[in-house]
């Protein structure tokens, strides 16, 4: 009985230590991912700010408007009557 109790106690302690180690490993992985995310965010922010600064210093391209000649209006009996009453 005594050796069984000792073995069970040792197994409990081993499992407890194993869970604790898993928790430490999970925390290390979480922190590493957080550092990676912060670095990536900083890099992307710098790129965005540089792009915005460059866009402000450059003159915006002039819009080219294409004007089409207006089609002549066809006068029909209906539009003629409507135009006269206005």
- Residues 65-85: pLDDT tens digits? 777 777 777 766 665 555 555
The distance from CA 80 to its chain's CA centroid, rounded to whole angstroms, is 58
pLDDT of residue 55: 87
Give the burial class of 53: count Cβ atoms within 10 A of its Cβ; 0-12 exposed, 13-18 middle, 19 or more buried: exposed
33 domain-assigned = yes
Task: Tell me the whole-structure pTM to 2 decimals.
Answer: 0.50
The answer on pLDDT for 57 being more than 90 is no
How many CA atoms are closer than 13 Å to the CA of 2, on its beta-carbon side? Answer: 0
Q: Give the helix ranges, DSSP H, for the chain.
A: 2-57, 77-85
Distance CA 23, CA 35 (A): 18
Assess if residue 72 is contained within a domain. no
Least confident of 29-33, 62-66, 75-79: 75-79
Q: Does 32 fall in a domain? A: yes
Tokens of 7: 């073995």
Residue 73 falls inside a structural domain: no
Give pLDDT, residue 64.
78
Residue span of the structural domain in which 2 resides:
1-58
Q: Decide if pLDDT at 4 tops 80.
A: yes
Number of domains in the chain: 1
Mean local confidence (pLDDT), 27-49 = 97
Q: Is residue 2, in this structure, part of any structural domain at all? A: yes
């Amino acid at each position: 009985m005594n050796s069984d109790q000792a073995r069970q106690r040792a197994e409990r302690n081993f499992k407890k230590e194993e869970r604790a180690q898993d928790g430490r490993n999970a925390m290390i992985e979480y922190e590493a991912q957080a550092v990676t995310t912060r670095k990536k965010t900083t890099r992307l922010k710098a790129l965005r700010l540089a792009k915005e600064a460059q866009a402000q210093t450059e003159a915006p391209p002039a819009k080219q408007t294409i004007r089409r000649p207006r089609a002549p209006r066809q006068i029909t009996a209906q539009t003629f009557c409507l135009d006269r009453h206005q």
